[in-house]
Structure 1
């Protein structure tokens, strides 16, 4: 009995109180670095709002385990996703233990959608950011060429979309030159592959428009067309881009940034080039419209011409023109007569002057028997006193010249 009492005393001395055990467990939980910042994924099974915050339970989809969670009011507005029953979430928080209930719970800092929900959140965040940059603005959209001679196609060489595009282009616009830039359009390697394919088209420099296409598929298969690298490659492409991605789906970010977007590769091929039948019909319509326009212009011109003819008849301009012609003829005759008279008078005056010149001509005087006596210096001798005996003189006769010498000077009276 004494031994039993000692054992009981020893046990009593080493036993922990409920508070002590709780404090020890709380110390272990709250001091663990792994539990101070932990990500937990699960499904919200219940949620209730209280004055201090939102309390909810997060459990595994199979119901095998659950944990209570709390989001204090100060943290609610910072959550990316509000916990709602049935939603799959990824929770960030820390483990806390409450002694009064002997329970532990997760104090939540952030809640993100899990699975498809997470992809949707990332999609919306990226979309808002790119939209804020102006990548989706309608003012940045470029017009497509009306009749391109060379286009580029970016898609998978093994996809049905490539075959549909080739068939459609051949039917609608034979002779079109198509540059094919192959790319992977599904999986982790797809974004980089698509960016490289677009870059090859730009470096080539021949294409007037680029067609980016892929057939239908699940949401996860089309994720590459929401990749920021692909979106920016399309936005920065130097030529217009048309997208034809998937069949039944929401718009991808590439659709929003492209210059034109349709729902199928075939529709994209139909948009990029016109059909020859349509071009022929348009040509015929233009011919008919041109014929009508020319006919209308001709008819209008003929009506105006006839109207002017009628006005001329009313104004009797032909009579006025005839009178002007007669007046011009009379003035011409007057001018001819006046000119003839002036010419006759001038001719008579010239003849009179000619006769005077003839009379005054020294040669004519010589012809009548006179002579001109010149001294050796060429001066005309006018007085015998000027001459000296022995001086040679030149006598100019009517016919020829003679030289003489003065032998004797007459005696002055």
Structure 2
């Protein structure tokens, strides 16, 4: 419980510090993981700083020399360890420190197992999926480079990129690429370049090193920061055989910093050769097309209808005359045949006409109704008949015939 205090009844410093020491002492012993820095030995005590591998947080550790010397292998600056400590608060100095009871270096096997668990976790979230990889711009205007201070990786990227395309521009962020500050500085540099609208692609480059040296580039916070970038990121960590987790989440992996420069920046010489080849191919295609069209135009001009247009008109005029003469002959023949038919028909009509019979001296007897009398038995005495001759007709009355 907190002590009741007031401006009139304050607690002395010693009492407050004793209370803090009491609260810290209740924590007991705990296991802590971190990275050793500032390792020194004085007399029978070894002093070191245990730094968090991700955050910029550290704590002082005092260790009896015997506890330090029994650790195998013996820890050195930069080593990653697991320490069994007892939190202590020194009342006289008002400072906090850990007292190490046991030190265990984190082995390569354990580091690899942790990296594999992290790799499976990130893969299950889809951060390594090829669908989320973005294509690099053909010719980036500005390239963001995250690298070590005055490092060979920086020189390799800059020299090879400018050799390929002299006008290329860079924004370089020099950071710690190993040690306790690497994760935070690299992450901050990546986020800064990603927020810069002028930067078209980001290269994270580092030369080769041991597994422990490359551990910052497999840190979960850095990997997730790269996955969240809107700008394409190229990972160029270590050499061909090195494979930090950053390689899997980046949009493109380069085997070396030099390879990164070749993949990000096009070669101006190669592009000029390509342009020349494409231009020559274009000329051949256009030339072939012009030749084909010119040949077609020549064949069209050589056709009779275009070579001698008047001759074609004359030929058509001759055809019209021929068709006209043929039509006249056909029509004349048809009229002649029709005239012959009419004459034959007229002759037949004349031959079959009753008028021709009457002209030979015959007559036709008809009743007033126009009925032709064919037999004498068909009339009676006193009946009036009309007798028709070839030229005229007369009326007659039927008289009884003499029996003699």
TM-score, normalised with respect to structure 2: 0.50
Greater share of helix residues, 1 or 2? 1
TM-score, normalised with respect to structure 1: 0.49
